[in-house]
Chain A
Amino acid sequence: MAITDYSIAAFDIQKIWADFPILSREVHPGVPLIYLDSTATSQKPLQVIAAMDEFYRRSNANIHRGIHALAEESTAAYESARERIAAFIGAATPREVIFTRNTTESINLVTQSWGRANLNPGDVVILTEMEHHSNLVPWQMLAQERSLRLEFIPVTGDGLLDLDEYARLLTLDPKMVAFTHMSNVLGTINPATEIIRMAHEIGALTLVDGAQSVPHLPVDVQALDADFVAFSAHKMLGPSGIGILYGRKALLEAMPPFLGGGDMIKRVELRSFQSNALPYKFEAGTPAIAEAIGFGSAVDYLADLGMEAVEQHERQIITYALERLEEIPGVKVFGPAAEHRGGVASFTLPEAHAHDISQILDADGIAVRAGHHCAMPLHTKFGIPATARASFYIYNTLEEVDRLVDGIYKVKQLFA
């Protein structure tokens, strides 16, 4: 679609659109794409695609043990990506930055390695009612195995965490507080610094699900004072199949390995092994090398834009989107006011199910998601089986919000 929207000043949207060829395709004959599903996965700029392409064209080799030129180039590119990602999140050293497959695997690494080594029957773990299944089910699995007690910080009617109740839960002496920094359904940006400070005061560790915050907000793991942070490349302009677990060095060093195999060892005998140093100890087997390199290029792209500008851009869009959506009769948007949320708006209509909304919008090229967005307990809490979710990123415009609103009026007409 032609972009006529220059009203958002955070950065040059024309230039961004030129970097994302997919945004200029038609999804049906004559119908251009309006991509409002970046919370599920973001689109990828040419720079990221080119970095991966270049790796396969010029440098492809397995990393770490080869002594030939390609192996050295590949290793250097892979480790350089790790360094740039570490700098992007403000880690003290790249050794605290472990490549995984995605946020989900990062969290499972913590539950299976740290959790099994440190949690005993009756121990309390605090989560929240707004968690994605990937920060819920791994803890449920561990709780079953280890007879843990899971407690949940409640979500208030306007989609915020109830911090008074959190303070009360902390008197149960939890060992771990694991929470999402930003909800993928409500868009709520949780007060992570405060949650972590309160946990540390009573000696609990913290895991931050950064799947939505790291792509959309400035996140500095040392300023947060987080113990673990998990996030995925594919939601922040990078490829699928690669993610990060950040962990404080002392914690990671004390943890047993997660998966066993090549690369994660220093020395192997027939009946025993010695683990490798960080970060390799947690990177068993050949990793997603091209994807790591693509991820490095993605954080370069975001760092060039500046995460403050990214946040500001999305704040303007969501402020406008909430205003426009709430003006449609019957539309109910879940979650807090724009000042407490990122670029996510999940909504329902009385006349039509989320699937129908999404399908009808698709006819106009508008991609939104419909369902429970991997947060069934949260939907149960709000008493709804499903919502339609529009989500925004660096390439979205106010004009696209207008198209969304036009589309919703069409749905209303059809189901009137």
Chain B
Amino acid sequence: MDDLYRELIIDRYKNPQFRGELDPHNFTFEDDNPYCGDHIRVDVRVDDNDVVIEAAYSGEGCSISQASADLLIEFIHGKTLDEVKALTKDDLLELLGIDLGPVRLKCALLSLKVLKAGAYGLGKDEVSDDLVE
């Protein structure tokens, strides 16, 4: 548990750095985790070369879902859209630096799923867990 609630996660949960909404944005996407009601929205702005210049997230949920969103949004600043599309579950877990059981994994991966669905320009009913395999 101490591991799961490492300082980084509690700190990002209590003092998020990338919370908010961006208007205008190049894409936005939002989705829920039906098991627990976690909700995440991401807004992303890119430049002419498709490099992320600004991004933010909003929503509600447990510390793992919100802190992972905060860390993920920080990470994609300066990345290209192609790099964002190529992000994997392992990339996100590396950012979090913890091992998660199957239930909490869903919390952690929600932000990545939402981000990638937005980057690919998917519709609301095209989102699937395949995005974060």
Is the beta-carbon distance between A372 and B5 smaller than 8 angstroms? no
**Total number of A residues with any Cβ neighbor in B under 8 Å:** 18
In the complex, what residues of A have CB within 8 A of residue B13's CB? Answer: 415
CA gap between A353 and B62 in the complex, in Å: 5
Residue A236 is within 8 A (CB to CB) of chain B in the complex = no
Of all chain A residues, the one with the shortest Cβ separation from B60 is: A385
Residues 28-87 of B contacting A (Cβ, < 8 Å): 35-39, 60-64
Q: Is the interface of A mostly helix, strand, loop or mixed?
A: helix
Residue A356 is within 8 A (CB to CB) of chain B in the complex = yes
Q: With A363-B1, A379-B37, A386-B36 given, is the CB distance from A355 to B10 under 8 Å? A: no
How many chain B residues sit at the interface, stated as a range, is: 10 to 19
Residue B89 is within 8 A (CB to CB) of chain A in the complex = no
In the complex, what residues of A have CB within 8 A of residue B36's CB? Answer: 354-355, 370-372, 385-386
Residue B112 is within 8 A (CB to CB) of chain A in the complex = no
CA gap between A244 and B38 in the complex, in Å: 34
CA gap between A386 and B62 in the complex, in Å: 10
Is the beta-carbon distance between B1 and A385 smaller than 8 angstroms? no
CA gap between A379 and B32 in the complex, in Å: 15
Is the beta-carbon distance between A385 and B63 smaller than 8 angstroms? no
Residue B127 is within 8 A (CB to CB) of chain A in the complex = no
From A372, A379, A385, A415, name the one whose CB has the most chain B CB atoms within 10 angstroms. Answer: A385
Is the beta-carbon distance between B1 and A372 smaller than 8 angstroms? no
Is the beta-carbon distance between B35 and A371 smaller than 8 angstroms? yes
Of all chain B residues, the one with the shortest Cβ separation from A351 is: B14
Residue B124 is within 8 A (CB to CB) of chain A in the complex = no
CA gap between A376 and B107 in the complex, in Å: 18
Residues 343-383 of A contacting B (Cβ, < 8 Å): 352-356, 359-360, 362-363, 370-372, 376, 379
In the complex, what residues of B have CB within 8 A of residue A250's CB? Answer: none
Q: With A355-B64, A356-B62, A359-B104 given, is the CB distance from A385 to B37 under 8 Å? A: yes
CA gap between A184 and B62 in the complex, in Å: 22
In the assembled complex, the CB of B43 is this many whole angstroms from the nearest CB of chain A, namely 21
Is the beta-carbon distance between B1 and A362 smaller than 8 angstroms? yes
Residue B4 is within 8 A (CB to CB) of chain A in the complex = yes
Indicate which residue in A355, A379, A414 contacts B62 across the interface (CB closer than 8 Å). Answer: A355
In the complex, what residues of B have CB within 8 A of residue A376's CB? Answer: 37
Interface string of B11-33 (1 = CB under 8 A from A): 00110000000000000000000
Indicate which residue in A352, A359, A385 contacts B38 across the interface (CB closer than 8 Å). Answer: A385
Is the beta-carbon distance between B104 and A353 smaller than 8 angstroms? no
In the assembled complex, the CB of B103 is this many whole angstroms from the nearest CB of chain A, namely 8
In the assembled complex, the CB of B94 is this many whole angstroms from the nearest CB of chain A, namely 21
CA gap between A354 and B33 in the complex, in Å: 14
In the complex, what residues of B have CB within 8 A of residue A386's CB? Answer: 36-37
Indicate which residue in B10, B61, B104, B107 contacts A385 across the interface (CB closer than 8 Å). Answer: B61
List, sorted by A's number, 9 A–B pairs whose CB atoms are closer than 8 Å: A353-B63, A355-B61, A355-B64, A356-B5, A363-B2, A372-B37, A376-B37, A385-B60, A414-B10
Known: A363-B2, A386-B36, A386-B37. 12 other contacts (CB 8 A): A353-B61, A355-B61, A355-B62, A355-B104, A356-B5, A356-B63, A359-B104, A362-B1, A371-B35, A376-B37, A385-B37, A415-B13
**CB within 8 Å of A: which residues of B?**
1-2, 4-5, 10, 13-14, 35-39, 60-64, 104, 107
